[in-house]
Structure 1
């Protein structure tokens, strides 16, 4: 009996009391952390444990709210800025698709210098697109009558170049494209467009996109049946356009 009584007393002594638990937990707090205790509030071990955990959360950088919700700092999501929300997408533009231009950039322009303003506008838009290093199908309406007819047919009127299209969407003329670029909104519209990393003009056409027809040498006439003696046997060349030109086989 004496042996059992001694073991029982020894076991009871090893059980921590509330006062000893409170004393041990309080010393785990850092010197600058204090537990706020309101008047007439019971000082329990549960309160001490809760405040210790909250103090540790603050040291780790967690956001501790009054309703005891804890939010890790890395879960604070950033909201989109006004600039990102204002960026346009291609669906915001009118659907007008040039022939074969459903998945590329098409620029209708002119290389004639007769009307200086039109030529300078085309030159400026062309230079702007080159700065973005994107692949562009340039369709010179002064070099090829079919390009001019394509452009007029899409608008049902005789519009003046330049006119920019991206993936079957009409972006606009000079004023619209320049405004989009100045607002930083033009670059996003080129998403998914292949890049053109060439740093030098085309070795064959010098970026004119057309060369003289090799079949008729630009005369638009060829001899029928190889007879070079009779001029009346001349026939129209089937290879070139109305200007005796053909598309460059390297850059087009």
Structure 2
């Protein structure tokens, strides 16, 4: 051990100092050459020191590769802190609260396949939210006109689904939601949402959230009494929507 230290000290002493090296070359080189020699000298000195340290490590039983680097723990902590600071907050998004959506996730979709891209976008966002196992209120604008009207009213225009809202904040359409998921930010926005741990579809509507009206069987008409003032045989059903459907009483 002492022998190696002595060898190491002798090696260091044999390296000329920067000041002596400057005095020897200051009158012989132009400024550009001075910089080049200075860099080469420091590089060669560094190599000599590394070789000496390597010899000492071998004698002590250490085997550290030239390419191995040790990263201080605080650097990893700083990287994690920076990542947390980059995560978005719901306050960063526009405040648009659908009816009853102040503390929940609401997704406006359509089940119509007339426009294929719109249908596929709705399907993709639905699948994405299901993968997080959170409770989502899906509102199909093609099955209930009231959903379509409230969506258009929020934007003052005839926007198309899908449209995602989380706790009264408008997150975006299909493209925006997919980008947030790819960046790992969507999960942060869904924190605090109740979990949906059910593994099977609703027994009442198979997750369609609507069932055929029990009063008119979907015809939207019910028979009247014989003493009706207009002598009509049937009138419009007051319990179902424009499609003869009512909300599922089990899951909605």
Pair in the same fold by TM > 0.5: yes
1:41-81, CA deviations, whole angstroms, 9 ceiling, x for partnerless residues?
xxxxxxxxxxxxxxxxxxxxxxxxxxxxxxxxxxxxx4453
The answer on whether the counterparts of 2:109 and 2:162 sit within 8 Å (CA) in structure 1 is: yes
| Structure number having the greater helix percentage | 2
Q: Partner residue of 2:158? A: 158
Distance in 2 (alpha carbons) for counterparts of 1:135 and 1:177: 17
Alignment of 1:48-127 (within 5 A): 78-79=77-78, 80-127=80-127
Distance in 1 (alpha carbons) for counterparts of 2:212 and 2:104: 26
Q: CA RMSD in A?
A: 2.3
- Can you give the 5+ residue segments of structure 2 that lack an aligned partner in the other structure? 1-76
Q: Partner residue of 1:236? A: 236
TM-score using structure 2 length? 0.67
Cα deviation for residue 226 of structure 1 reads 7.3
Q: Partner residue of 1:211? A: 211
Cα deviation for residue 224 of structure 1 reads 1.6
The structure number with the bigger radius of gyration is 1
Q: Is the alpha carbon distance of 1:185 and 1:220 closer, same or farther for their aligned partners in structure 2, counting shifts above 3 Å?
A: same
- After superposing on structure 2, the runs of 4+ consecutive aligned residues of structure 1 that deviate more than 3 Å are none
Cα deviation for residue 231 of structure 1 reads 8.3
Distance in 2 (alpha carbons) for counterparts of 1:251 and 1:197: 14
How many residue pairs align between the two structures? 178
- Can you give the 5+ residue segments of structure 1 that lack an aligned partner in the other structure? 1-77
Distance in 2 (alpha carbons) for counterparts of 1:118 and 1:97: 23
Cα deviation for residue 222 of structure 1 reads 0.6
Q: Is the alpha carbon distance of 1:234 and 1:181 closer, same or farther for their aligned partners in structure 2, counting shifts above 3 Å?
A: same
Q: Partner residue of 1:29? A: none
Give secondary structure in 2 for the equivalent of 1:246.
strand
Q: Partner residue of 1:146? A: 146
